[in-house]
Structure 1
Amino acid sequence: MQRITVTLDDDLVEELDRFQREKGYQNRSETLRDLARAGLNQRRANEARGACMAALVYVYDHETRALAKRLAHAQHHHHDLSVATLHVHLDHDSCLEVAVLRGSSGEVRHFAEHVIAERGVRHGQLMIIPVDVASETHAHGEEQPHSHSHAHVREGG
């Protein structure tokens, strides 16, 4: 293990200490190690190539002219990526959507960037989970063996 020195703004230290207390970390080093590990794992996932599963979470103003129609059109246009969508009405103007996506990392990122960039989308974040897709033959219960694909999560470092 190596010891390093880090200089942080007072406001950031206050926020870090508050986070440490809320999450029950024993010390700042433990807190910073976990935050760095999480950030690096997310970076690796975001830079991953190949197949992925993903969750695109965004909030939008449904009163923005034709936005709901444009978002629905985008999902239909990329139906090959879409697994499921959850739609929640937050208030009179705002909707939260969670789109579960499956496909190549590049296509998923491109789709997510398009959705998040739409005028009227207020918040958006993409969580990518790299997977290896494999065709497997086996039986479920008393069924005859059959072949279908499984998405196996790739381990982060």
Structure 2
Amino acid sequence: MSKNNLIRFGISMNEDLLENFDDLIVKKGYSNRSEAIRDLIRNRLVEKEWKDNEKEVAGTITLVYDHHVRGLSGELNELQHDYHDLFLSTMHVHLDHNNCLEVLVVKGKARETREVAEKLIGHKGVKHGKLTITSTGKDLT
């Protein structure tokens, strides 16, 4: 089957669920149900990629921390150097006198990417952190 062929299929669901889905479609700006369903499927496929430890994935690690915590900036930087091959780009923003925001763009094997994210987010002095997953797009259509 060619990747360009569109296949039509039917879905049965409860009327209330469909109404809620239609409300979501409008709020999110989808042009139709099909595109919304395709996005839901793609999201599940990306989640599946991240469960395969050897799969190449992409994402961002977002950190908020107090830069006055002694040695924290250097330790976070050292961790990034330990995994230097995973980091594509970083952005550092001064939120106020005390707090910094860093957004780190990563690409690499899922296991290593999760590992470095957990180490950075779990580091003493980091107030909040989040790993956001996505795909390299190679296997998505």
Distance in 2, matches of 1:108 and 1:60, equals: 19
Distance in 1, matches of 2:123 and 2:25, equals: 33
Q: Which runs of 5+ in 1 are unaligned?
A: 131-152
Letter in 2 for 1:39: N
Letter in 2 for 1:86: M
Q: TM-score, normalised by structure 1?
A: 0.60
Q: Identify the residue that residue 88 of structure 1 maps to in structure 2.
A: 93
Q: Identify the residue that residue 145 of structure 1 maps to in structure 2.
A: none
- Say whether residues 1:68 and 2:76 are aligned partners: no
Q: Identify the residue that residue 42 of structure 1 maps to in structure 2.
A: 46
Q: List, as ranges, runs of 4+ consecutive aligned residues in structure 1 with deviation greater than 6 Å.
A: none
Q: Is the 8 A contact 1:53 1:100 kept in 2?
A: no
- Say whether residues 1:25 and 2:25 are aligned partners: no
Distance in 2, matches of 1:24 and 1:129, equals: 21
For residues 1-150 of structure 1, what are the structure 2 equivalents within 5 Å?
A: 1-6=9-14, 13=20, 17=23, 20-26=26-32, 29-30=33-34, 32-50=36-54, 52-63=56-67, 65-66=69-70, 67-119=72-124, 120-130=126-136
Q: Which runs of 5+ in 2 are unaligned?
A: 1-8
Which structure's residues are more often helix, by fraction?
2
Task: Tell me how far 1:60 sits from its aligned partner.
Answer: 0.9
Distance in 2, matches of 1:129 and 1:22, equals: 21
Task: Tell me how far 1:24 sits from its aligned partner.
Answer: 4.2
Q: Identify the residue that residue 139 of structure 2 maps to in structure 1.
A: 155
Task: Tell me how far 1:72 sits from its aligned partner.
Answer: 1.3
Q: Identify the residue that residue 6 of structure 2 maps to in structure 1.
A: none
Alignment CA distance shift 1:22-1:56 (3 Å): closer
Task: Tell me how far 1:19 sits from its aligned partner.
Answer: 5.2
Which structure's residues are more often strand, by fraction?
1
Alignment CA distance shift 1:20-1:30 (3 Å): farther
Alignment CA distance shift 1:31-1:85 (3 Å): same
Distance in 2, matches of 1:32 and 1:128, equals: 17
Give the 3-state SS of the residue equivalent to 1:54 in structure 2: strand
Identical counterparts, % of pairs: 22
